[in-house]
């Protein structure tokens, strides 16, 4: 099977098959296990407690990787700056850790990731660091902190399970959950073979003219355009934006609405992060919706939510252990099945038959460079596609 046939269209059939299974049929190495810490038994919940629910989740195999049972106990407090968006889901997992470890607590400050990145840099420069750890929903904000030397390298043992593409230079940060750009399309209207392999081909594809949707105000879309600018140059990117606008691409407020419109048949296809299709399919298993992924360009960008150790913290050991918990089998299963994120470790499958990360072919760019957003906003304005 070629990369294209493996990676572009797998989740529809798998989602239907998964609906036939259930957790009762899964091997569960986590149930009933305990770990010793501070003189008392600490119970780790069963796998089902970490796993989401629904048609695209049922019947999954037990995750591989290191179990929480195998990690040292968490003890102490962390001051965490956590980005908005998926931050509520991430805090749900943190709450589970606090339940497992009574002597562990997290004090969090929740704001947009870009704002928190700026705050961290300013605090470090002023010698008044407040945070121990920064959890950003995107690599751009992590890259901004790293470029301004406001971080301390993470320990090798914390990063070890994650592929190099999803780590910062000098161990500056590590991805804990991924999201892929994708092309949701309506299977009642168009076939997979009609979806272009390159994003540059979309404006000239007759079957898609006037039938596509996008959400230019959305942060993920701006990151996608930034990736195109970095890979193809500003002029080519501006021309593409203009061509898509002139082709009648329909503007929506966010990418979930784009994906819903595709599933409803109001659009033939669109541009969106992969997990919006997962949400639709979990609610509507029979929706005529599938995903395509372009090859080697911005249409197949894989971005990450990740964590960075803030310069000046004195909690190196606790941070190392906490990050290892975020990359445990249970945590990665939680992120994959609750937020439908791409797992960052081998042995944990993405939901719904999605291609694995190593089966995708994203553009060869440094994710930290996505922080350079201003030229992208100027390009979008020039092209009449203002965010």
Q: Which of 196, 178, 83, 193 is nearest to 135 (CA)?
A: 83
Report the C-alpha gap between 286 and 307 in whole angstroms.
Answer: 37
DSSP 155: P
DSSP 194: G
Q: Which of 164, 152, 202 is nearest to 181 (CA)?
A: 202
User: Is the same domain home to 297 and 230?
Assistant: yes
Report the C-alpha gap between 229 and 160 in whole angstroms.
Answer: 31
User: Is the same domain home to 267 and 224?
Assistant: yes
User: Is the same domain home to 248 and 327?
Assistant: no
Q: Is 71 inside any structural domain? A: yes
Q: Is 223 inside any structural domain? A: yes
User: Is the same domain home to 274 and 335?
Assistant: no
Q: Is 127 inside any structural domain? A: yes
Query: Tens digit of pLDDT per residue, the chain (387 long)?
Result: 223 333 333 344 333 333 323 322 333 333 333 333 444 556 788 888 999 988 888 888 899 999 999 999 999 999 999 997 666 789 999 999 999 999 999 999 888 999 999 999 999 999 999 999 999 999 999 999 999 999 999 999 999 999 998 999 999 999 999 999 999 999 999 999 999 999 999 999 999 999 999 999 998 999 999 999 999 999 999 999 999 999 999 999 999 999 999 999 999 999 999 999 999 999 999 999 999 999 999 999 999 999 999 999 999 999 999 999 999 999 999 999 999 999 999 899 999 889 988 899 999 999 989 988 899 999 999 999 986
- CATH code assigned at 310: 3.40.190.10
Domain that holds residue 198: 179-301+362-382
User: Is the same domain home to 227 and 136?
Assistant: no
Task: With both helix axes pointing from N to C terminus, report the angle between 87-100 and 329-338 in degrees, rounded to the nearest 10.
Answer: 140
pTM of this prediction? Answer: 0.86
Three-state DSSP string of 197-253 = CCHHHHHHCHHHCCCEEECCCCHHHHHHHHHHHHHHCHHHHHHHHHHHHHCCCEECC
Q: Which of 27, 177, 162, 35 is nearest to 102 (CA)?
A: 35
User: Is the same domain home to 223 and 184?
Assistant: yes
Angstrom distances, CA of residue 267 to CA of 3, 282, 308:
27, 20, 39
In the chain, the number of structural domains is 2
User: Is the same domain home to 331 and 288?
Assistant: no
User: Is the same domain home to 263 and 313?
Assistant: no
User: Is the same domain home to 123 and 164?
Assistant: yes
DSSP 26: S
User: Is the same domain home to 125 and 39?
Assistant: yes
User: Is the same domain home to 152 and 39?
Assistant: yes
Q: Is 261 inside any structural domain? A: yes
């Amino acid at each position: 099977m070629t990369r294209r046939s493996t990676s572009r269209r797998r989740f529809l059939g798998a989602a239907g098959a998964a609906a036939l299974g259930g957790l009762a049929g899964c091997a569960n190495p986590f149930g009933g296990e305990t770990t010793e810490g501070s003189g008392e038994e600490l119970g780790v919940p069963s796998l089902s407690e970490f796993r989401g629910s629904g048609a695209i989740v049922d019947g999954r195999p037990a995750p591989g990787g290191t179990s929480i049972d195998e990690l040292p106990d968490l003890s102490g407090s962390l001051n965490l700056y956590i980005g908005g968006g998926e931050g509520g889901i991430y805090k749900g997992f943190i709450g589970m850790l606090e339940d497992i470890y009574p002597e562990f607590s997290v004090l969090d400050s929740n704001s947009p990731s870009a704002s928190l990145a700026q705050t961290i840099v300013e605090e470090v420069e002023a010698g008044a660091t407040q945070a121990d750890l920064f959890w950003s929903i995107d690599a751009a904000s992590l890259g901004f902190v790293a470029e301004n030397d406001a971080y301390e390298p993470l320990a090798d043992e914390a990063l070890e399970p994650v592929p190099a593409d999803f780590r910062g230079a000098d161990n500056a940060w590590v991805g804990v959950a991924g999201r892929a750009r994708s092309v949701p399309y309506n299977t009642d209207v168009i076939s997979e073979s009609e979806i272009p392999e390159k994003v540059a081909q979309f404006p000239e594809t007759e079957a898609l003219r006037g039938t596509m949707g996008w959400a230019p105000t959305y942060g993920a879309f701006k990151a996608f355009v930034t990736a195109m600018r970095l890979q193809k140059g500003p002029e080519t990117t501006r021309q593409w934006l203009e061509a898509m606008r002139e082709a009648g691409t329909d503007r929506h407020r966010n990418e979930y609405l784009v994906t819903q419109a595709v599933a409803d048949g109001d659009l033939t296809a669109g541009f969106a992060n992969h997990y919006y299709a997962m949400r639709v399919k979990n609610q509507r298993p029979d929706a005529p919706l599938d995903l395509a992924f372009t090859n080697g360009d911005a249409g197949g960008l894989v971005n990450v939510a990740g964590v960075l150790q803030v310069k000046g913290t004195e909690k190196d050991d606790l941070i190392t252990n906490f990050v290892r918990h975020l990359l445990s089998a249970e945590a990665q299963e939680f992120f994959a099945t609750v937020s439908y994120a791409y797992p960052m470790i081998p042995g944990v499958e993405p939901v719904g038959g999605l291609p694995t990360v190593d089966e995708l072919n994203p553009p060869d760019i440094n994710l930290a460079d996505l922080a350079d957003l201003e030229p992208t906003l100027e390009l979008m304005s020039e092209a009449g596609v203002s965010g």
